[in-house]
Structure 1
Amino acid sequence: MRFADAIRWFFALPDPAVDRSAMTPIQLSNDAHRRKLRTPFGRAMIRYRILLESIPHRVRALVGILWRATAGRWLWIKSTDFAETEIATMRYVANHTDIPVPRVWFSFKWGNCEYIVMDRITGITLFDALRGGYLQDGNKQDMIAGQLARHMAQLRSLAPPPNSSISSVLGGPVRCPRLFQDPLYGPTAPAPPTGPFKSEATMNLQLRHLRNLETCVPVVVAAHSTAHPLVLTHNDLVPRNIMVDHAIGKVVAIIDWEYAGWFPAHWEICMMINWEKQSVGLGWRGWISRILPRHELTYAQELEADASLLKALWVPERHA
């Protein structure tokens, strides 16, 4: 083997005698990869590249271990792009009710994402407690349901500021996966902001995908012709967002307030029943009848109308 050929083989360089002009980019890439696999230098470079690509994952894993062993025992960091609104909501709820919410220490932005540093909540989610069979004791179930009922009564008793619209506690846009989904980002992306809505009629128009009310089924016509008072709404009150101490039957925190805001009084239960599917097999409907005992009957028409629109039209992709 000539010296030039040996050098070309060792460094996995292409043979100039081979015509590659007709090869596609994929064929050229595969040819280069095969050459590298045939030489010690090429194989070493492939292993080196794999090692470099794995370093960020290893660093993240190491940082995670160190965090959980130190400050992570007391603090929780949540990544979001709606931090200001969620922080304002949690502080508003903490200042006006005795609903347990995580205490926020500070927030910061890194790259394109915002982070909220808050207290780590001890306990498990109600979802895990139900799925794990930790709440077989009916007395503990009653205790937790009773606490949630009192918390929701407090939340719904808060009066909105004068001239309020359907908005966040800051008066700006809201986030709700039922109200709007940008088609450019797909159904699995976080709900983008929508609103604020100047009236319930505007929000209803968006739910109908901008269709005239007269074209809808009678239950939608009846529900969307009724005005409802605005109440502070969690908007995602489901078992995965309720932290409990199942051993003593206590609600230790209600978390994830990024979707919260001032909404019509029926909206909480519409989201709890029509939108929440993950907890159906855990008897969630029975819990709702204890957490919001009157509302399942009071807003039966609104529930049916929302379910009808959801089935027929799905989530709006345009703003009203």
Structure 2
Amino acid sequence: MGFVREHTGLPVPRVWGFWSHREETNFDTNPTSSDGKSETGTRRRESASSIGLNYMLIEALPGDPVGEVWADMDDSARSRFRGELVGYLRELRALEQPPVPMGGVGPSGSSPDGDARDGMGVGYISAMNYQPLTDHRIATVPYGPFEDVKGWLECEYLLGYVAKARPRNVYETLEGQLTKGDARVVFTHSDLTPRNVLVEKESGRITGIVDWDSAGWCVEWWEGVKGVYGWNDGSFAQKPGNDPQGSSSRLDNNLMAVWKSLLREVVGNFDDELKADEEMRDIYGFPY
């Protein structure tokens, strides 16, 4: 978030502090009898591992998630919201990707191929500073980084799994949908849904964009795919029959359709990639 605050005008919360809490997990090192006593009459407990939880204290920003108040916003507020969101997205995607520093700064502190180098070029897929990505859509653990888009697509969590689980023609069809044209690598929020954009209901002013834990450098269409991923989580919930102006179009009342149109205005058409992503989730057996 600090990188975005420093290089853009996006309303991003300040981070006040970060810390970890670790709790020791103990176990018995002596065998025990059925009555719970050790065979030697004593019980010795030793630390087996540490379970850690990370905490972050961030600034609380004003406003409400736009998904909760969209139905109550008038046409003027909705128009301002659209303009600001598109502007912020374009500003985010205009950031220049820095080269990987000398020697690389991957998860092990080495360059991507293990050799020291005078900085790798741009076009890599990673979190900040060539660190592993965090993305609940793809993996339950940090993954990557990757030297290029091809390496990312062929990882075990995307097309790499398809290649193992389905016939070659299925893999080739999905690969074609995901690799058409020369997609750029841009800075991506990767979870830009209505629950993560705060708005002042009366004016439509965006007061905050939050939840940056999945942010990083990724292929340009990923913002669109992730922006509508998990659409059934309540982010697009509407209040039935509530149209404050009585003049809004059906499109305006359907925030899901509005959201897709705003993403397309910046990202471009990502229908093929979205379809491919849905098919890959079906192959994985994802429940959503």
Find the counterpart in structure 1 of residue 42 from structure 2.
none
Contact kept? 2:227, 2:263, Cα under 8 Å: no
Go from structure 1 to structure 2 and tell me whether the alpha carbon gap of 1:299 and 1:193 turns closer, same or farther (over 3 Å shift): same
Aligned to 1:115: 55
Q: Partner of 1:313 in structure 2? A: 284
> What corresponds to 1:134 in structure 2?
72
Of 212, 225, 228 in structure 1, the residue corresponding to residue 183 of structure 2 is 228
Structure 1's 297 and 218: CA in aligned 2 closer, same or farther, altered over 3 A?
farther
RMSD: 2.2
- For each residue in 1:101-132, what CA deviation from the matched residue of structure 2 results, as whole angstroms up to 9, or x when unmatched? 001222222332222222211221112213xx
Q: 1:150 to 1:101 in 2, by over 3 A?
A: same
Q: Is the 8 A contact 2:94 2:186 kept in 1?
A: yes
Deviation at 1:245, TM superposition (A): 1.1
Contact residue 274 and residue 306 of structure 1 kept, 8 A: no
* Change beyond 3 A, Cα 1:170–1:314: farther
| Deviation of 1:201 (Å) | 1.8
- Matching of residues 232-271 of structure 1 within 5 Å: 232-271=187-226
Deviation at 1:242, TM superposition (A): 0.9
* 1:149 and 2:86 matched: yes
8 A Cα contact 1:168 1:261, kept in partner: yes
Corresponding residue of 2:17: 106
The residue type equivalent to 2:139 in the other structure is F
| Structure 1 runs not aligned, ≥5 long | 1-89, 182-191, 316-320
Q: Is residue 208 from structure 1 mapped to residue 159 from structure 2 by the alignment? A: yes
Contact 1:125 1:239 in 2 (8 A): yes
Contact 2:135 2:142 in 1 (8 A): yes
Q: Secondary structure at the match of 1:196?
A: coil
The aligned runs of 1:168-187 (5 Å cut-off) are 168-181=127-140
**Higher normalized helix content (fraction of residues):** 1
How far does residue 217 in structure 1 lie from its aligned partner after superposition?
6.0
Measured in 1, the distance between the counterparts of 2:266 and 2:280 equals 20
Give the counterpart letter for 1:175 in structure 2: T
Q: Which amino acid aligns with 2:131?
A: G
Larger Rg: 1
Q: Kindly indicate whether the alpha-carbon contact (under 8 Å) linking 2:224 and 2:264 is maintained by their aligned counterparts in 1.
A: no
- The 2-side partners of 1:113 and 1:210 are apart by 30
CA distance in 1, matches of 2:159, 2:68: 35
Q: How many angstroms apart in 2 are the aligned matches of 1:270 and 1:295?
A: 13
Aligned-residue identity in percent? 25
Amino acid at match of 1:208: L
Q: Deviations over 1:123-166 (max 9, x none)?
A: 21112213xx422x121111112111100010111121122421
2:258 to 287, 295, 308: 287
SS at match of 1:256: coil
In the alignment, residue 225 of structure 2 is paired with which amino acid?
C
Q: For the residues of structure 1 that align with 2:194 and 2:256, how far apart are their CA atoms?
A: 11
Report the CA distance between 1:97 and its aligned residue. 0.7
Give the CA deviation at 1:218.
5.9
- Distance in 2, matches of 1:225 and 1:290, equals 22
Q: Is 1:199 aligned with 2:148?
A: yes
Deviation track 1:25-52 (CA, whole Å, cap 9, x = no partner) reads: xxxxxxxxxxxxxxxxxxxxxxxxxxxx
* Structure-2 separation of matches of 1:151 and 1:95: 14
1:121 aligned partner, one-letter code: L
Show structure 2 runs of 5+ residues with no match: 23-51, 100-120, 239-253
Q: Is the 8 A contact 1:289 1:296 kept in 2?
A: no
User: What is the deviation of 1:314?
Assistant: 4.0
